[in-house]
Amino acid sequence: MNVYRSHVLICGGTGCASADSFKMMDKFHDELKKHDLAEEVKLVKTGCFGLCEAGPIVIVYPERSFYSQVKMEDVERITEEHLLKGRVIKDLLFKETPDEDTIKAIEEVGFYKKQKRIALQNCGVINPEVIEEYIAVDGYQALAKVLTEMQPEEVIDTLKQSGLRGRGGGGFPAGLKWEFTAKAEGDQKYVACNADEGDPGAFMDRSILEGDPHVIIEAMAIAGYAVGATKGYVYIRAEYPIAVDRLRIAIKQAKMHNLLGTDIFGSGFDFDLEIRLGAGAFVCGEETALINSIEGKRGMPRPRPPFPAHKGIWNKPTLLNNVESYANVPQIILNGPEWFAGIGTEKSKGTKVFALGGKINNTGLVEVPMGTSLREVIYDVGGGIPKGKAFKAVQTGGPSGGCIPMEHIDTPIDYDNLIKLGSMMGSGGMIVMDEDNCMVDIARFFLDFTVEESCGKCPPCRIGTKRMLEILNNITEGRGTLEDLDRLEALAGNIKESSLCGLGQTAPNPVISTLHYFRHEYEAHVTEKRCPAGACQALANYSITEACKGCTLCVKVCPVDAIQGERKALHTIDTDACIKCGACVDKCPFKAIVKK
């Protein structure tokens, strides 16, 4: 067994892989061989480090040097300077903001300081394709404890005492769901994992599966023991190829080590896992639609009750949680329910993983204790808004959530607080918007997604959301009226009350929340035919300021000859002829053309 003096951790998550981190690892291999360092330096392909904005990321231990946005041409330099000569390359180290000169080691990066990693604790730390690395960080210890020291009802009681709530949507107490399934009568029971993460901008579950797939296998085996199930299914979308591959590798390794299969740990308990691939239907994130898809049927929701705990997969009692919910289970078993319940707020225990995106400096994956304020996540962890722009709103909960304005930025994040504000926790998407975002257009964007993804089974969702989208399109294109705002509210109420499943019932939330907090923007669109943010193209007006130098570049790119003017003289735009394409704005070197 080699004892390495240095470890080089290279991000192998989807984001960094798309920027050639796999090829980068191959180049590191070649460079280490070239300098006779292969026996001294170990390369570790990890999952996501979280700070996607800085990718591709390379961290060198023991110095903990945090190299960001590493390029292929930097590999030779890191090898020769740092790994061979022991010199940290300061200009490659992560900088907190683009204009900051301070260099950072990983523990100094503000992005991580307020985080507490439980579900993500092994992501970016271990090689997810090597089971021994998971075992080295106490992997499968929780399963061993459960099978050799605890009765099924003790496992469920531990989960109930921890206060863990489902991380996939409504936040139902996980322990109660496990108890319902355990008490349900059935000759066969199933455990299922919902990894069908379909919210725009969300990648929490994907990153856990890419960076720590064994934690899901271990947690599902624990769940199987607790509820009396011998078979489990992981339902994951086929668009997650890295996650699927690593999960397959992990399942194979677990079977080889007798951690899946028959008589696990000599306890007499049998449990096996299969993967089911989804085709990317958003509705299959709803539990009954997911169950239909597992069975080979069209992914459409079923009426509830009966709930899956009583009639799930093939009408057998089924426990269904999402990836993040399961990822907390081994740590709760090992550290005790009191430890987990001591984190967070009174009614929302533990931590929550968010995919932080939109108008934010530090886009990426974050895990913070429940009760952390929106301000802390956006400014302390996320690094604030780029280019000094003003924060306007944050969308939580994806298409099912709502937009929370600046006035509520100090709200502690938990299930109940977000619902009070007209939003929801959801699976953990968090999209930040600045002063340049039009809230009417944001609502239209999310509703357009919902209309596209509706399964079509119930008329309120199939027809109602379509009518709402038509109204929003009219408003953003200058054809809206004040009566349309009343129609939107009436339709939203009807859809929420009468849709079959939770996805349809929450589809109007982005519209309802933006109407509540940003009604003045809607009114400006319909009464003044103006978009205050200047984002709605149909309502935009272009004009040329005194900064114009008469270079004629705008004249040359205008496709409809709407710009007139002599060379070296102030130009003008014929607003009737202008098609508002924006080509002139992009081309003007003097920033003399403005959109209002």
**Helix boundaries (H) for 150-240:** 152-162, 174-183, 204-211, 213-227
The reply to whether 6-113 and 351-434 are identical in fold is no
Q: Which of 240-244, 245-249, 490-494, 577-581 has the lowest mean pLDDT?
A: 577-581
Q: Which amino acid is at 533?
A: A
pLDDT at 493: 95
The CATH code for residues 6-113 is 3.40.30.10
- How confident is the prediction for the chain on average, in pLDDT? 94
pLDDT at 287: 94
Q: Are 274 and 252 in contact (CB under 8 A)?
A: no
What is the spatial distance between Cα 392 and Cα 360, in angstroms, rounded to a whole number?
12
* Per-residue pLDDT tens over the stretch 245-283: 999 999 999 999 999 999 999 999 999 999 999 988 999
* Per-residue pLDDT tens over the stretch 277-317: 998 899 999 999 999 999 999 999 999 999 999 999 999 99
Cα radius of gyration rounded to whole Å, the chain: 26
Nearest to 148 by CA among 270, 328, 269, 272: 269
pLDDT at 34: 96
Q: What are phi and psi of 31, to 5 degrees?
A: -70, -40
Q: Where are the domains of the chain?
A: 6-113, 131-341, 351-434, 439-527, 541-595
* Per-residue pLDDT tens over the stretch 505-559: 999 999 999 999 999 999 999 999 999 998 898 888 889 999 999 999 999 999 9
371 in helix, strand or coil? coil
Q: What tokens does 315 get?
A: 């009408």
Domain 541-595 has CATH 3.30.70.20: yes
Q: Are 199 and 241 in contact (CB under 8 A)?
A: no
254 in helix, strand or coil? helix
pLDDT at 99: 61
> Residue 581's pLDDT band (boundaries 50, 70, 90)?
confident
pLDDT at 100: 66
pLDDT at 595: 81
* Per-residue pLDDT tens over the stretch 174-232: 999 999 999 999 999 999 999 998 888 889 999 999 999 999 999 999 999 999 999 99
* Per-residue pLDDT tens over the stretch 450-464: 999 999 999 999 999
pLDDT at 363: 94
Helix (H) or strand (E) segment spanning residue 286:
none
Place of tokens 């003008």: 572
Fold of the CATH domain 439-527: de novo design (two linked rop proteins) (1.20.1440)
Q: Read out DSSP for 78-145?
A: IIIIIIIT----GGGB--SSTT-----BGGG-HHHHT---STTTTTTTS-TT-HHHHHHTTTTHHHHH
Q: Are 162 and 332 in contact (CB under 8 A)?
A: yes
Residue 9 has pLDDT above 90, yes or no: yes
Evaluated on CA atoms 246, 249, 255, 256, the torsion sign reads negative
Collect all residues with Cβ–Cβ distance below 8 Å to 325 and sequence separation of at least 6: 164, 166, 167, 168, 174
What is the spatial distance between Cα 309 and Cα 192, in angstroms, rounded to a whole number?
11
pLDDT at 498: 95
- Say if strands 231-237 and 190-195 run parallel, antiparallel, or are unpaired: parallel
Q: What is the DSSP letter of 376?
A: I
* Percent of the chain whose predicted confidence (pLDDT) is above 70: 98
407 in helix, strand or coil? helix
Once rounded to an integer, what is the mean pLDDT over residues 309-330?
A: 97
Q: Which of 92-96, 238-242, 300-304 has the lowest mean pLDDT?
A: 92-96
Q: Read out DSSP for 548-563?
A: -----HHHHH-TT--E
pLDDT at 383: 93
pLDDT at 101: 64
Q: Which of 21-35, 95-109, 479-493 has the lowest mean pLDDT?
A: 95-109
pLDDT at 98: 58
The CATH code for residues 351-434 is 3.10.20.600
* Percent of the chain whose predicted confidence (pLDDT) is above 90: 89
Q: What is the DSSP letter of 390?
A: P
Nearest to 514 by CA among 500, 525, 529, 530: 525
Helix (H) or strand (E) segment spanning residue 35:
none
Assess whether the previous peptide bond of 56 is cis (omega < 30° from 0): yes
What is the spatial distance between Cα 424 and Cα 405, in angstroms, rounded to a whole number?
14
Helix (H) or strand (E) segment spanning residue 467:
helix 465-476
Place of tokens 């340049």: 436
Beta bridge partners of 65: 60, 105
* Per-residue pLDDT tens over the stretch 372-388: 999 999 999 999 999 99
The torsion angle over the Cα atoms of residues 430, 436, 438 and 444, rounded to 10 degrees, is -50
Assess whether the previous peptide bond of 399 is cis (omega < 30° from 0): no
> If you classify domain 131-341 with CATH, what class do you get?
alpha beta
Residue 422 has pLDDT above 70, yes or no: yes
